[in-house]
Amino acid sequence: MYGYIDKRKISAQRNESLTILKMRKKVFSFVVLQLLFMVHLLAQEKSLHSPDGRLDFEIRDGQPDGELIYEIKYNGLPVILPSLLGISNWETDMEIESVSEKSVDNVWHPVYGERAKVKDRYNEKIFVVKTPKRKDRLQIIVRAYDGGIAFRYQYVGNNYLRITSEKTTFRVPQNTYCWFAPYAQAEHKYLPVRDWPGEAERPLTLQLPGKLYAALGEAEMVNYSRTKFFLNKGEENIIRCQMYDAVDEIAPFSSPWRVVMVADQAKDLLANNDIFLNLNKECKIGNTGWIKPGKVMRVTRLSTEAGKEMVDLALKRKLDYIHFDAGWYGPESVKDSDPRKPIGSLDLLEVVRYARSKNIGVWLYVNQRALAEYLDEILPLYQSWGIAGIKFGFVQVGSFRWTTWMHEAVAKCAKYQLMVDIHDEYRPTGFSRTYPNLLTQEGVRGNEEFPDGVNNTTLPFTRFLAGAADATVCYYHRKELKPNLASNPNARSLQNTSCHQMALSVINYSPLQFLYWYDTPSDFKDDPELVFFDELHTVWDDTKILEGSIGKFVSIARRKGNKWFVGSITNNDSRKFEFSFDFLDPDKKYELRLFTDGGEKIKTRTHVAIETKKVTYKSKLKLDLLPRGGCAMIIEEK
């Protein structure tokens, strides 16, 4: 006999099973959603965005060898493809332990600069990294600005450190090109990111596919070893870091900032170069009233008479300083030359007395050989003499030892109210924010080398991203103006037009601006365009990068008070274009003084044409620049 089947019971069991199955599905779905949410949160925790949302930085651990990788995107486009992070003793077996974050939105007022107010606005995350090999921790500090990403390594704890290498790489997209310079005063060459003929200087400006621009730089390199960029043989598009030498320090200790600037246009890289200042510490000088930027001219004959003659010219041409260059205390390369004792033909104290009676300051050149031996003696001595500043000459750069010494020397100068100009291969990384007595530095292929228009239209988008450069503006050093040059077929002289040179004094930012390099008082004939240099300022309330194409042309406007100064130059080719005054205040009227290369029809020896026009922000002006030419403007509010 078959058993009785309770269909209602079976149905109930089936319903119960279905209910359990549905509940399990719901639980599973909930768990999956939770996991996805946690993954999303974790991804967000390891990413960082610029305040305007266009730049994205992402860091990832969990790689096969325990390496950390990062990548950077701009409006979704790749800038830095997945690349390595790491530094000595922190290269593999790394894991992100925790993350903290903050946002900053400040405005600060520099002692001087390209603008009176600097915006410091960024989002920051600190990634704490651990490894089973060590008990201490490494922090990777990342900041996202609207104009770029910056990151640095910070050793915590109290261990003794020997940092010998940095594993950081910058893998760029295929078909990226760069403006390569092997040393600070070299010409830039436009090259692909492969087969470089050596290491690349900083900043390294890049042109990415899709018309984006980027630049790799270094900020707050104060007590460290300079890092340049290199490529492994046979590799393409992977830019690596090469330290000059080892760094011996004690934790806590931070590396310099690695900076990746990004922009739609090359001119915006220069417009955003405050990032290097923002990444340095605030000013450490309490009273900065003695720090006075200005225009300066070199005394070429080392005598009391020549010094006074230069003071008189400085007064007439509205310069602020005169400068005694190499040789005033004897041959600079000779160890016995003593920077406490001027040569016999120069009564330095009498020249200083005479200069101060005319409100003109005096700068002195001192070679590093003498600085290293006599620094602590000459600083109080020069202060007692009334010296305004020191130009450091032939400095040793790159090594941990001399980098640290250099910045400590600048700080010592501040104690004795002495300003500083560092010459030769030194390049800035923002230290002038902390010690603004460091007015300027060389580290540039300036007018001493008589560069052409290609060089001069490249520098604003490469070298000048890092900050001020003493490029020693020349003016009269031409064969048609100096008979001794015309009679010497091997003599070097200016290749560019007069107005090109005038415009450089605006384009090339330098709070201490050397003018009339290689010229002497006898070269001056009261040429009418010199009024431009007479009225020129060296620091500014506002700066506008109006246009620019690397190695082709650039136009920059800078304002001091109610006057705008404009410099526009072209490369070795002529250029016709329409200049717009739309950067002016729409509610005001202005008077324009325009300086252009007028050619032979202008019957002065420099052939500079001067016109005066009324303009407003709606005005347009058609300009026709000669090869290696330019124009300069003074626009005054009326």
What digits encode the pLDDT tens for the residues 379-422?
A: 999 999 999 999 999 999 999 999 999 999 999 999 999 999 99
pLDDT of residue 114: 98
Residue 353 has pLDDT above 50, yes or no: yes
Residue 90 has what DSSP assignment?
A: B
Residues 177, 111, single domain; the answer is: yes
Residue after which a domain boundary falls, among 248, 278, 308: 278
Q: How far apart are CA 165 and CA 174, in angstroms?
A: 26
Across residues 499-504, what is the average pLDDT? 98
Do 346 and 231 share a structural domain?
A: no
Tell me the whole-structure pTM to 2 decimals: 0.92
Q: Which of 255, 278, 301 is the last residue of a domain?
A: 278
Residue 38, pLDDT score: 39
Q: What is the pLDDT of residues 82-118, one digit of tens each?
A: 999 999 999 999 999 999 999 999 999 999 999 999 9
| Percent of the chain with pLDDT strictly greater than 70 | 93
CA distances from 389 to 322, 413, 437 (A): 10, 9, 9
The answer as to whether 164 is a domain residue is: yes
Percent of the chain with pLDDT over 90: 91
Q: Is 455 helix (H, G, I), strand (E, B) or coil?
A: helix
Domain boundary among 443, 459, 483: 443
Q: For 446-488, what is each residue's pLDDT tens digit?
A: 999 999 999 999 999 999 999 999 999 999 999 999 999 989 9
Residues 312, 258: one domain?
A: no
**Which 3 state secondary structure label does DSSP give 620?**
strand
User: Does residue 251 belong to any structural domain of this protein?
Assistant: yes
The answer on 375 and 412 residing in a single domain is yes
Instruction: Give the side-chain half-sphere CA count within 13 A for 83.
Output: 22
**pLDDT tens by residue, 547-586:** 999 999 999 999 999 999 999 999 999 999 999 999 999 9
Q: What is the mean pLDDT of the chain?
A: 94
Q: How far apart are CA 331 and CA 302, in angstroms?
A: 12
The whole-angstrom separation of Cα 173 and Cα 559 is 38
CA pair distance 309, 325, nearest whole angstrom: 16
3-state secondary structure of 352: helix
The answer for residues whose C-beta is within 8 angstroms of residue 578's C-beta and 6 or more apart is 620, 621, 622, 623
φ and ψ at 603, to 5 degrees? -90, 45
| Band of residue 328 on the pLDDT scale cut at 50, 70, 90 | very high
Is 285 inside any structural domain?
Answer: no
Same domain, yes or no: 232 and 374: no
Using DSSP, state whether 83 is helix, strand or coil.
Answer: strand
> pLDDT tens digits for 245-303?
999 999 999 999 999 999 999 999 999 999 999 999 999 999 999 999 999 999 999 99
Same domain, 227 and 312: no
Determine, yes or no, domain membership for 225. yes
- The pLDDT-based confidence of 13 (bands split at 50, 70, 90) is low
Name the nearest CA neighbour of 326 among 375, 381, 370, 374.
370
User: Is residue 217 located within the same domain as residue 321?
Assistant: no
Whether residue 475 sits in one domain with residue 561:
yes
What pLDDT does 42 receive? 46
pLDDT of residue 405: 98
Contact predicate 435/441, CB 8 Å: no
pLDDT value at 25 more than 80? no
Does residue 41 sit within a domain?
no
Looking up residue 131, the CATH number of its domain turns out to be 2.70.98.10
Q: How far apart are CA 141 and CA 126, in angstroms?
A: 5
Select the more confidently predicted residue: 34 or 281. 281
Q: Is 517 found in the same domain as 412? A: no
| Helix axes 368-385 and 348-357, enclosed angle (nearest 10) | 50
What is the average pLDDT across 515-528? 97
Q: Are residues 123 and 208 in the same domain?
A: yes
Residue with tokens 């109290």: 158
Report yes or no on 85 lying in a domain.
yes
What is the tally of structural domains in the chain?
A: 3
Q: Is the pLDDT of residue 36 over 50?
A: no
Question: Given a cut of 50, is residue 429 above it in pLDDT?
Answer: yes
Same domain, 505 and 636: yes
Q: In this structure, are 602 and 528 located in the same domain? A: yes
pLDDT value, residue 30: 47
Q: What is the CATH classification number for the domain harbouring 403?
A: 3.20.20.70
How is 32-65 classified by DSSP, letter by letter? HHHHHHHHHHHHHHTEEE-TTS-EEEEEE---TT
Task: Kindly state whether residue 182 falls inside one of the protein's structural domains.
Answer: yes
Q: Is residue 40 part of a domain?
A: no
Residues spanned by the domain of 188 = 48-278
For Cα atoms 597, 600, 602, give the angle at the middle one, nearest 5 degrees. 65
- The model's confidence at residue 4, banded by pLDDT at 50, 70 and 90, is very low
Q: What's the pLDDT at 211?
A: 87
3 state SS of 535: helix
Taking the C-alpha atoms of residue 168 and residue 243, their distance in angstroms, rounded to an integer, is: 11
What does the pLDDT average to over 538-546? 98
Tokens encoding 443: 């580290």
- CB-based contacts of 153, cutoff 8 Å, min separation 6: 87, 90, 138, 139, 140, 166, 254, 255
**Start-to-end C-alpha separation, the chain:** 118
Cα 381 to Cα 363: distance, rounded to the nearest angstrom = 14
Q: Are 427 and 395 spatial neighbours (Cβ–Cβ below 8 Å)? A: no
Instruction: Answer yes or no: is pLDDT of 506 > 60.
Output: yes
Is the pLDDT at 31 greater than 90, yes or no?
no
Judge contact between 608 and 529, C-beta under 8 A. yes
